Each structure stands twice: as C-alpha cells, then as structure tokens.
Structure 1
Amino acid sequence: MALRDFMGRVILGKQLMAEIATARTGTVRDPFTTDQADGMTPVRLARILRASANGDPLSYYELAENMEERDPHYLAVLATRKRSVGQLPITVKPASDATDHKKHAEYLQSWVDDGILRASLFDILDAIGKGMSIMEIDWKTTASSWTPRELIWRSPTFFDFDQHDGETVMLRDGAGRVDLEPAKFIIHRSKAKSGLTVRSGIARVAAWGWMFKNFTIKDWAIFCQNFGQPIRVGKYDSGATEAEKDVLWKAVSQIAGDCAAIIPRSMEIDFKEIGSKSASTDMFERRADWFDRQTSKLVLGQTTTTDAISGGHAVSKEHREVQEDIERSDAFDLSSTINLQLVRNMIAFRFGPQEHYPILKIGRPDEVPLEEFARAFDIFARNGLKLPARYAYDRLGAPAPTANEETIGGSPQAGSGSARQALNSLFDKSAHAKAPARDQVDVITARLEDEASGILNDQIDEIRDALNQATSLQDASRRLAKLDLREEELAKAMASAMMVSHLAGQAALLDELDDDRE
C-alpha cells in the first residue's frame, strides 16, 4: 500500500511497519555499550570530546549515559527538567473553523487521548542531556488510517552524523551509514548552545564538572577510610611464632576495616595526626556541593529548588520563574518537533496532504492566575464587562452543569445584583420610594413628571406668546428658534427615566426567576 506524506513523497506501507533501528548483540548496534566512565582522566575526557566534535560521537554518547548512572545529582536535575515538561497539558487546535479542519483536529485529539504520546515524552526529552533523541515510530494500520502504536526510544549510539554537513542523522549499519526511512523516526534536538547538535547537549558542558567531582568523592572516600576510624595496633613478643603472629593479625584486622598493623613489642610506630580532620572533611564536602550547584544552574537555570540557600520566599519565587521559563522553552521545542515530524504525517496518511494542519501544543495556557482573574473580572463585571459562561467554566477547569443535575452554589450574577442595587438606590432618592404598594411603572411616570414639570412650566408661557404672535408656520418656527429653551435638561430627564425603566425591567425579571426557584 502506497501513501503520501505531508511533503507529497510516496511512502510504502511495508516501510512504515518494519522495525529498522533494532539492537543486535555483536553488531554496530550492540545494546551493551562500553562503560567510558571507568578510569576517567582529563586527557581521556578531552580525547572523547574532541572525537565527537570531529565526527565520531559514539564514545561521547556512551559517556553521557554513564554520567547519568553514576551521579545522583546530575540524574535528579535532568529528570526534574524532563518530568516538568512531561506532565504538561497537551492540547489540539484545528487549523481553522472549517469543517474539514475540525475533523482533522478531532482525529488527532483521539490519538492523543490514547496516551501514547504522553508515555513517550520522557524518552523524547533525553535530548536535553545528549543534544538529540531519536524515537522510532511503530505505525499501526486500519482500513482507513495509520496511527503510531508506540514511539520506541533508540539509543543515540545506534546513529551517526553525515560527514559532509555534520547534522544529518544516519543509521549505523554493517555496511556503514545509511539514510533514515522517511516518516519512520522522530529526531528531537535540544540545544543548550548554538552550533552542531553533537556539541550542543548539556552533557558536554557538564562532563568536566562531573569528572572533577568524581575525583573529589574518591579522595573523600580515601580520607574517611584512613581517618574516619581508629587504627588498631597489635604487639607480639620477640619469641612469638609465625602462627601466633597470624592469629594476632587476624584479630586486629577483623575488628573493623583494613587500617590495622602488627609489630614486635620492641618496635615503635609513630602515627602523625592531621591538625584538623573536620576542616579537611568540610573541604571535600564544599567542593562536591559547589560542583552540584554548577550542575543545577546548567540544567535548571537556578539552585533554590535543589539546594537550601538563604533568601527566603522571594528568592525561591524568582528561581522558580527561571525554571518555568526553561520549561516553556523545552515545551515549545518539543511541540514543534511533534507537529513537524509526526502530526503532519498522521493527517496526510489519513486525509491526504493538506495546506494547513492542526496544531498540537504541549504547555500551560498563557493566562493570568485564577485568583487574579477572578478579582479582575469581579471589578470589570460590575462596570459592564460580559463574558461567556463557558469561558469561566474553562478557566476554573470545571464542567458546566447539565439539565436536572444536582448543583451547589448558584448565587445571582454580579451584574444582576448590581441592577437591583442601582434600582433601589434610585428609588431611595425619590419621594415615591416609601410607597411599595404602587406599581413601579407609576413610580417611574411620576418621577419623570416631577423632573420635567419644573422645566416645562417655566417655558410654557414663552412658547404660548411666540405662537400667538406668529403670522405663519414659518414665522412660528423662527420665533421658537430664537427662544432660550432648556432642551438639554429635558433630554437628561428623559434619559434618566429610560435608564430607571430598564433597571426596573431587569429587577422584575430577577424577581420572577427567584419565584421560579422557590
């Protein structure tokens, strides 16, 4: 079966279903790699890093794996950074509101809901340490679609870079390097610095600190062994036999550790004590902690979330913001990789190549915190701002109640309460507010009459005289135009009455709703 990917290239179905980068013992893709960390020296580390920069990254990728296995702190901060992104929300947005685009998004969302991508994020983010991670796509097919059944992590030691450009990833094979099958792999790159992928991973920068910290830990262990417990000395007489010496040696050496000796009674050994053992111990600890803090800065951008330092809540908040910036950057890079190398092919295999594709996003929504949103909306709503209830439910992360469903809460909206308060306030200022038995329409009419009567009474006589003296309609119009009538005050009175009428209508509707609830 032939398919077309998002670039229009013909892809054979059998190529998608075959496993390509599998591990095989005794081949160039041996799953049991060499431990490069054993006997590490500065000269050897420099040789490994130089070889990787010159096109032979195998030993470097093996060392990067060993560093994670041998340094708990390095492993912990890397895992923290990976898991902070791996648990972020995954959302799908259609390319537009067109029916076809919504259908594409629903198809992609259905696959995301299966959890296959979520389960693979930690392995894809292996690129943070090594600069690159490669996932082989295990495609499954039905009568009408091709979707990933699994995303399989493949060791970077199974791959190499093209010797011409230093960037194109190729598969290690018995015959040398071979091109990767299109639509079969996801290659995610995470760069701590600009440059070639093999020189941009965090492990390359962390390697020197890891090595010197390793030296410190070894020296510390030797110090503790030599000075952390008392030295036992057994003394024997000059006439002791070899058998008696063996018994004495076994006795002192089996008490604890290897710091023991036997000497004749006539001999003397002088043991020189170090001036301050505690100061020497602190030196090892401070040096190891210093390297750990540099690693925390390198991986997480800060130290507060991994080390207890002075500064209190303010410093912790600032450092957490730095970590969140890195989290957003990792999520953005990861989303771009998934969209370009997986999402587009999924849609193309199912619906054919498209001009536009749905967007998969990994990351938190760019919204203000819920508490700040609620406080701001409360202020704006009281000044006339309206929002769809659906938006508020989405921000709360709560579903809208369905019909006949038992609910809690449900107090009147802020805007409705404001309408009642405004109406009551207006009537409280009126002489008619003390007449609750009268109909509100009568109250509004009476108030309009009161406000307009004073304006009209002062002008009626002037208008009557002008009309009596006029000889024609044109003359009457000219005479009225010359009068100094207070039309603005009359317009204000009418506008006020219309506003009160509108508020009265809202209040009456609320009363009916309250009666229905009761």
Structure 2
Amino acid sequence: MVSPKALIKKLFGNESSQALDEEQTNDSRVGQLKREFAEHPTKGLNPHKLYQILESAEQGDLKAQSELFDDMEEKDPQIGADLGKRRQLSAEREWQIVPPDGADAREKKAAEQAAEVFSGIEVEDLILDLGTGIGHGWANLELAWGRDGAMRFIEQPTLRPHSWFRLHPEDQNCITLRDMSATGAELWPLGWIQHRHRAKAGYVARMGLHRMLAWPYLFQNYALGDLAQLLEIYGMPARIGKYPKNATEKEKATLLRAVVSLGQNAAGIIPDGMSLDFLEAASGRADVYKAMMDWCERAKAKAILGGTLTSGTGEGTNTNALGNVHERGQMSLIRSDARQYAGSIGKHILWPMAALNFGIEKPSRAPRFYLDTGETEDLERLSKSLPTIVDMGAKIPMWWFHEKSGIPKAAEGEEVLMPKAAPKPVGALRLAQPQGQRIAALRLGDSEEPDAPDLQLERLQREGDTAIEPWVEQIQALVEEVESLEELRDRLVELAPELGVEDFAEVMTEALAAAHLAGRYDIVEGV
C-alpha cells in the first residue's frame, strides 16, 4: 500500500504537499504582486501602442495585454454585456458530479465526497471566474485546501489577476507567476486551477477572444471621439465678438471670455461699445461615424456570441426565424464553454481530491463534473407526439425521454407521482377471485347454490344488454329516418324521455349491491 505522501509525490511532484498547507501567493518571492496597481494601457491607446502591447505578449510579457483586456471589458458596454451574458448562461446551469462508468465502491464514495464538497462552495462564482478565460484565453484560480480528519477538500477557489502572470521564455504555453527571475515561478501542483479556454486557436498569448476585439474597440473609440468633436463644432452656432480699434488687451480678453461663456452657459457680459454676432451652425454629417461605430458593434457581437441578433445589434429587418438561428449558434458556444469548464474542474479539483482521499491514481477513474446544457422539448408537444410514435413501433429508451423532457428520473425508494385511476366501463368490470368461500354474500337470486363471480358478471352483463336493447332499436330506427346530423341531434333530445330506464336501473342496482357485499366480505375475511 502506497503511503499518502508517496502517492502525492508520485502523481503531482515534490512541491505538491506544500500547496496543501499554504497558498503560493503568500510566498515572499511573489508577495509584491498584491501591492501592484493597474497601469490602464487604454489611456492614449493608438494603433502603434496597441501593436506593441500585443507583440510584447507574444514574447512572454502578458502584463500590459492583460490590463488592456480588463480595461476593454470595463469601458466598453458592448464587450462587457456580451461577455457577461455568455459567462452567465453557463454559470446558471444545474451542475452534477457523477462517478465514472462501471464505478466500484471506492469510486462511488469519491463522487459522493466531491458532491458534498461542491454543495458547500459557490459553484456559480467558480464558473464565472473560469469564464474570464474566454477573453484572456486562460484563467488561474488559486486553491485553498482544508482538512476534516484524514479527508482533504478544497475551499472556494480565488481568481488571481491575469497581470500577475507571464509566459516562460522557453515555452509559450507555460504560464508562470511573475517574480524577480527571468522565467517566473512555476505554479505549484495542487495549488491552482489552470484553465485554458480555447475561444480561438493559438498559443496562450493569442488564444484569447479579446485579441480579436482589440481592433474594433480601438476603431470605435476613434469614431466616437470624432463624432463628439463633430457635435461640438457643428452642433452650436459660431460666436464672433467685435471690439473697437482702440480696444486694450484687457478689453479684448474680457470680450473673449464673454464669447466663451456664451458658448457654455448661454449668458455673459461685454463692455459698452463692443458687439457679439451669432452665425448659423455649419452643417456636418455624422453618418460616416455612426456607420463605423455600428460596424464595430456588430463585429464584437459576432465574435463573442456568434451572431448579432442575440445582443441587440442586428438590423431592423431581421426576422424571428433568423433570430432563432443566431440563438442556436450561441447555444453551441455555451455548450463548448461548459465542457471546457468541466474539464478543468475535473483535472485540477476532482482528480486531486479523489487521489488524496481514496488513492485513485488514474484521472479517467476520477468523478466527473457536468453542467446541464440539454435543451428540453415542449412538454405539451412531447406528450401528444410520443404516444403516436411509440404505437408505431418505435423503441424509445427511457433515458431519452427524461433528457428531452427535463424531468429527473426518480431514485430507488423515492416517492413518485402516480396516475389517477381511470373509471372502468360496466361491461369490463371483473371481480377478483376470492380466497375461500365468499359466494354466499353474492346471492342475487333464489338459487340455493352460489354462482361463481364470473357467472355473476356474465348474468349482469346479459341482463344489462337486454335492458338497453330497446334503446338501440329505437335509436337505429331514428338514424334511418333523419337526413342530417343536426336533425338527429334534435330528435334524440325529443326521444330521451321515451327511453325506459327501469330495467337498466334494476340491473345496476343488483350490480352495485353485489359489489358492496363483496367488498364487505373482503374486509371481514381480511383479503
């Protein structure tokens, strides 16, 4: 039997045990990261500066690019809203943790323990934090470990700023913590959820969706600035102040202040002998700037959500059918996001807990995390179409029905809803075969020998048919006389009082009396 320490060292390396006792960011070598402030590279952003930031990230320096991406999401409502929507659509899904296929008792216990741990943390916050990897291409959440006796469990993971990390100079896919060294500190095993989100293909520095959004963000800012300048220049009438030839510099400055004040406050004073003229505002076209801003908005919506009609940036002529197409494209992105979150959670949380607590060495035998992304069918439509399909001979598995309807499958021993008992027709009534002699309670004639239950039922049905036979004859004759359904309806109403019910009522009375006596006999005999 391998000892727990030896197993940890074998599976996760030498520094893994240190991560179980403390967080790596508490180490003195990287402690300065918690005292850093963002430099906000969007200040004075231009094409040359943006190109330098993106190029530096490809060379390993991720700090400026990460801070740029944070600023973009904070300052641009379109980017912030669409990315927030995409993350929230995954975070609001129901989650579950299940053992692997063909699990043994140990693997089932590992899944139960993991589900208990996750019920004690904010899973929605965890998914939202992992969702920051959509824009950046990756997200690192630091793990804090707790202990309950011999059992190890994780506490709420903490998202660390993307600017704290850099790329290893010899491996563009290896992320390290920035410290005083040229390569950075390697992340401790068991200490991090190292999530890689492939919103687009490429190395770590280039797989973030924000690299695609950076240029529309910049172009839109230029267009917005130009539009604001246009409104300032052409949206107000020009003011011209006139002063006499012998005016002093002080009088000229007074007139200038009055002209400016009139532009801002629509009020001012000027010395006597001076004048102010207002010229009609020049006409300027804002269409070109609005066209550029609309293009940038649509480009960002398509990059984030896969379409424009789910973010409110579509054209006015869009149809509902086209909107449904865009929504289906959006849901395919959400399902991909959910699978990537589940993969990182399984690799960096569920497998380590299963290995530490239950000695499960293979990641494939660790518990599995799922976000429910299944789309349920309309229950009314499903209830109408499914019986017809089944009657045609289709063999539909029960799990498919539960998946499509969204109705969970009841666990063993769990209370379930039962169908309401349908009333049975008189001709189909059958009394159960009694135990022992209860025939004496069912005597309906003068016969000294009791009838068997089936004989009684045959007698009742025969007498009932005899009682309603006159009805059938009268109605059949009426059908032959009338010429339309409307006339038959009216004639049936007139015929109803003439149909004799005495014989049929007598038969029903006998049947109810027999059923009543049989029930009492069952109670007495304890059947």
The one-character-per-residue Cα deviations of 1:434-474 (angstroms, maximum 9, x if unpaired) are: xxx9988449989xxxxxxxxxxxxxxxxxxxxxxxxxxxx
- Which letter maps to 2:19? Q
Q: Which residue of 2 aligns with 1:428?
A: none
Q: Which residue of 1 aligns with 2:50?
A: 45
Residues in 1 aligned to 2:38 and 2:240: alpha-carbon distance in whole angstroms = 46
Q: Which residue of 1 aligns with 2:187?
A: 180
Residues in 2 aligned to 1:146 and 1:401: alpha-carbon distance in whole angstroms = 29
- Judged with a 3 Å threshold, the aligned counterparts in structure 2 of structure 1 residues 231 and 17 are, in CA distance, closer, same or farther, namely farther
Q: Which residue of 1 aligns with 2:297?
A: 292
Instruction: Say whether the 8 Å CA contact 2:134–2:209 is kept in structure 1.
Output: yes
- Judged with a 3 Å threshold, the aligned counterparts in structure 2 of structure 1 residues 271 and 254 are, in CA distance, closer, same or farther, namely closer
> Within 5 A, what are the aligned runs for 1:243-254?
243-254=250-261
CA RMSD of aligned residues (A): 4.3
Match of 2:172 among 166, 169, 192: 166
Q: Does 1:15 align with 2:8?
A: no
- Judged with a 3 Å threshold, the aligned counterparts in structure 2 of structure 1 residues 6 and 125 are, in CA distance, closer, same or farther, namely farther
- Which letter maps to 1:194? A
- Which letter maps to 1:215? Y
Q: Which residue of 2 aligns with 1:363?
A: 372
Match of 2:241 among 212, 227, 234: 234
Match of 2:59 among 54, 63, 66: 54
Residues in 1 aligned to 2:260 and 2:157: alpha-carbon distance in whole angstroms = 55
> Within 5 A, what are the aligned runs for 1:34-113?
34-95=39-100, 96-113=102-119
Paired residue secondary structure (2:173) = coil
Residues in 2 aligned to 1:128 and 1:253: alpha-carbon distance in whole angstroms = 48
> Within 5 A, what are the aligned runs for 1:65-464?
65-95=70-100, 96-176=102-182, 177-257=184-264, 274=282, 276-277=283-284, 280-306=285-311, 307-309=313-315, 310-355=317-362, 356-365=365-374, 368-379=377-388, 395=405, 397=407, 412=420, 420=424, 441-442=454-455
- Judged with a 3 Å threshold, the aligned counterparts in structure 2 of structure 1 residues 264 and 81 are, in CA distance, closer, same or farther, namely farther
Q: Which residue of 2 aligns with 1:4?
A: 7
- Which letter maps to 1:126? T
- Which letter maps to 2:345? I
Instruction: Say whether the 8 Å CA contact 2:239–2:276 is kept in structure 1.
Output: no
Instruction: Say whether the 8 Å CA contact 2:98–2:368 is kept in structure 1.
Output: yes
- Judged with a 3 Å threshold, the aligned counterparts in structure 2 of structure 1 residues 94 and 366 are, in CA distance, closer, same or farther, namely farther
Instruction: Say whether the 8 Å CA contact 1:235–1:264 is kept in structure 2.
Output: no
Residues in 2 aligned to 1:248 and 1:267: alpha-carbon distance in whole angstroms = 9
Q: Which residue of 2 aligns with 1:461?
A: none
Residues in 1 aligned to 2:129 and 2:245: alpha-carbon distance in whole angstroms = 68
Q: How many residues align?
A: 430
| C-alpha deviation, 1:181, in angstroms | 0.8
Q: Which residue of 2 aligns with 1:489?
A: none
- Judged with a 3 Å threshold, the aligned counterparts in structure 2 of structure 1 residues 53 and 304 are, in CA distance, closer, same or farther, namely same
Instruction: Say whether the 8 Å CA contact 2:376–2:406 is kept in structure 1.
Output: no
| C-alpha deviation, 1:134, in angstroms | 0.6
Instruction: Say whether the 8 Å CA contact 1:183–1:341 is kept in structure 2.
Output: yes
- Which letter maps to 1:45? L
Instruction: Say whether the 8 Å CA contact 2:378–2:405 is kept in structure 1.
Output: no
Paired residue secondary structure (1:2) = helix
| C-alpha deviation, 1:424, in angstroms | 5.8
Q: What's the TM-score once normalised by structure 1's chain length? A: 0.71
Q: Which residue of 2 aligns with 1:493?
A: none
- Judged with a 3 Å threshold, the aligned counterparts in structure 2 of structure 1 residues 43 and 388 are, in CA distance, closer, same or farther, namely closer
| C-alpha deviation, 1:191, in angstroms | 1.9
- Judged with a 3 Å threshold, the aligned counterparts in structure 2 of structure 1 residues 372 and 318 are, in CA distance, closer, same or farther, namely same
- Judged with a 3 Å threshold, the aligned counterparts in structure 2 of structure 1 residues 26 and 220 are, in CA distance, closer, same or farther, namely farther
Residues in 1 aligned to 2:249 and 2:25: alpha-carbon distance in whole angstroms = 64
- Judged with a 3 Å threshold, the aligned counterparts in structure 2 of structure 1 residues 26 and 15 are, in CA distance, closer, same or farther, namely closer
- Which letter maps to 1:181? W
| C-alpha deviation, 1:264, in angstroms | 11
Runs of 5+ unmatched residues, structure 1: 426-436, 447-507
Residues in 1 aligned to 2:48 and 2:402: alpha-carbon distance in whole angstroms = 61
- Which letter maps to 1:293? R
Paired residue secondary structure (2:142) = strand
Residues in 1 aligned to 2:368 and 2:260: alpha-carbon distance in whole angstroms = 69
- Judged with a 3 Å threshold, the aligned counterparts in structure 2 of structure 1 residues 251 and 422 are, in CA distance, closer, same or farther, namely farther
| C-alpha deviation, 1:131, in angstroms | 0.7
Residues in 2 aligned to 1:422 and 1:104: alpha-carbon distance in whole angstroms = 57
Q: Which residue of 2 aligns with 1:457?
A: none
Instruction: Say whether the 8 Å CA contact 2:167–2:174 is kept in structure 1.
Output: yes
- Judged with a 3 Å threshold, the aligned counterparts in structure 2 of structure 1 residues 98 and 208 are, in CA distance, closer, same or farther, namely same
| C-alpha deviation, 1:26, in angstroms | 9.4
- Which letter maps to 1:155? P
